[in-house]
Amino acid sequence: MINKSLYIILVLIGISFSGYGQYEHIQFKNEYERTILSELENHTDIEILLAISENGSKSLENKITSHINALKSELSKKKFEAKSEEKKLKLLFDLTHKTFFLKYKEVSNFNEIFNTKEYNCVSATALYSLILNEYNIPYSIKETPTHVFLIAYPSSKDIILESTAPTNGYFNPSSSEIQKAVNSLIELKYYTQEEVESKGIRQVYNEFFYNEDEIDLKKLAGLQYHNEAIKYYSEDNYEQALNSIYKSRLLYPSEKSEFLSYAFLSKILNKTDFTDFKHIKYLAQFANLPIVDSKEIISAYSMIINNRLFFESDHESMDSIYSYLKKQLSDSTLIKDLSEIHYEGFAKYYAKKSDFNKSLEYSTKAFEINPNNVNTQSLITQSLVQDLYRRGGSESTLEKMNESTEVFPFLKENSLFQSLYFHTYATSAYYHLRADDLSGGLNYLKMMESLIEQFGNELKYDENQYGMIYAEAGATYFRMRKYKEAKKIIEKGLSIIPNHPELKIRLQIVIDEMK
């Protein structure tokens, strides 16, 4: 059996993870494999072991059954059932090895035993198990870091059946590679640093990747796919490696296979710019793995938005990507985060195109998700200011501004939006004063003064416009022959804007009239 940790260590070396286990993305070799893996409970052990075969079929099942029956006939000739437990197992071992096991091959599937007589410890153990089942001989299958073997009569004799010595033909990881694997386990929070220091690096490594828990024939079939995945990985075929480990997880779900899924997906996603939609599917699979940090997905999605929207202006495909991910992801918090990024991205996109109505539409959606995001607040402010400024300082503009502050309370403290209020108040004050509506004009002037008192230098306004309101207020008093009041309000304006030319002129007119 291929050492499970070899290639995961290689995956971990030098990888910068950037940023899913949904089995509907599995690509099957043929209909035979699809049928078996989709309905495991309805199939025999032989069928499940043969699912990985390129030429799996009923005829192949019958061929293997015939081989096993022929072996049983040979055992019967040698009076197998009359022998002691030890002699039974010795005879079975010798005859099976002589009949089927010609050449050890590290990556070898169950059916190859009967075609080329090539085997490994996984396929050989599977055959031993099937034969023992025929005689109702109890057994357990054990998995260790470098081997799979079978123990017959586990409650009494503990007779081990091995197809090969446990260390022959296997990779033994170096201390440095084991250290890197354990460091990754700490980083991914499978273990704490304290646990590693307490147990030791080697124990943690063996404990996580392999223990001697008993496995069954279905899990043994899963190990075939695991070996296939490692073979594909060694050929730099990461997508096929991922496909095989998904099949392995159907048969043998474990943290180890989840970890390999994470590593293979990381390899795939680390080399993509997400121009191909299949990589969006891989991103969804990656995001659904429990060990994945959502920050990696958020980072990847931000990159996708940047490329699709701002470099390519392809908002239609961006909408498709968002809809797909929203449907596929299982983490509601992550969906919420991606939605916020999506809407904010579209708001920025339309703001850059000067389509401020669309920008406001998307930034409002982002605001509903997270009202505290200052980027979203800025986009909302920008869109509203652009729209409202073009409307002019009418009463309807003020009404729209007041409605906006109710929807977006942060605008009440936003100096840019309040600067627009100042400009609108000034325009309204001017028209009221020109129409001799002194009360209305002074009311708006009072609100302008209040904004300056509240926001000070943060408020952006035109001093000349501000001074003209004092000048127009003075002119209104003048037309009402209230010269003292006219002089007082003009002087107030000059105290704020000392060099305002129009205020100076009107003050002189009032003074001359008062003589």
Domain 272-377 carries which CATH code?
Answer: 1.25.40
pLDDT value of position 206: 67
pLDDT value of position 146: 67
pLDDT tens for each residue of 388-435? 888 776 788 899 999 999 999 999 999 999 999 999 999 999 999 999
Over its C-alpha atoms, the chain yields an Rg (Å, rounded) of 39
Q: Where are the alpha helices (DSSP H) in 254-373?
A: 255-269, 277-287, 294-305, 315-328, 332-352, 356-369
Q: Is the pLDDT of residue 214 over 90?
A: no
Block residue for tokens 């804007």: 497
Higher pLDDT pick, 201 / 344: 344
Q: Where are the alpha helices (DSSP H) in 408-437?
A: 415-434
Q: Is the pLDDT of residue 12 over 70?
A: no
Cβ 438 vs Cβ 477: under 8 Å:
yes
What does pLDDT average to over the chain? 88
Of 276-290, 323-337, 381-395, 443-457, give the lowest mean pLDDT range: 381-395
pLDDT value of position 212: 58
DSSP per-residue letters across 48-73: HHHTT-TT--HHHHHHHHHHHHHHHH
Amino acid at 213: D
Of 100-109, 372-381, 498-507, give the lowest mean pLDDT range: 100-109
d(CA 453, CA 488): 20
d(CA 492, CA 505): 14
Q: What are phi and psi of 142, to 5 degrees?
A: -115, 145
Q: Is the pLDDT of residue 281 over 60?
A: yes
pLDDT value of position 286: 95
pLDDT band at 455, cuts 50/70/90?
very high
Cβ 75 vs Cβ 56: under 8 Å:
no
Cβ 81 vs Cβ 61: under 8 Å:
no
pTM summary value: 0.75
pLDDT band at 307, cuts 50/70/90?
very high
pLDDT value of position 161: 84
pLDDT value of position 16: 34
pLDDT value of position 203: 83
pLDDT value of position 171: 35
In the chain, what are the domain boundaries? 4-14+26-271, 272-377
pLDDT tens for each residue of 226-243? 999 989 998 999 999 999
d(CA 415, CA 348): 21
Q: What are phi and psi of 241, to 5 degrees?
A: -60, -45
In percent, the amount of the chain with pLDDT more than 70 equals 91
Of 132-136, 172-176, 273-277, give the lowest mean pLDDT range: 172-176
pLDDT value of position 211: 54
Section 70-99 average pLDDT: 93
Section 181-200 average pLDDT: 86
What burial class does residue 106 get, using C-beta atoms within 10 Å of its C-beta: 0-12 exposed, 13-18 middle, 19+ buried? middle
Q: Is the pLDDT of residue 510 over 90?
A: yes
Higher pLDDT pick, 357 / 162: 357
Section 287-292 average pLDDT: 90
Q: Is 149 left (phi over 0), alpha (psi -120 to 50) or beta?
A: beta
pLDDT band at 4, cuts 50/70/90?
very low
Q: Is the pLDDT of residue 62 over 90?
A: yes
Section 163-173 average pLDDT: 42
pLDDT band at 188, cuts 50/70/90?
confident
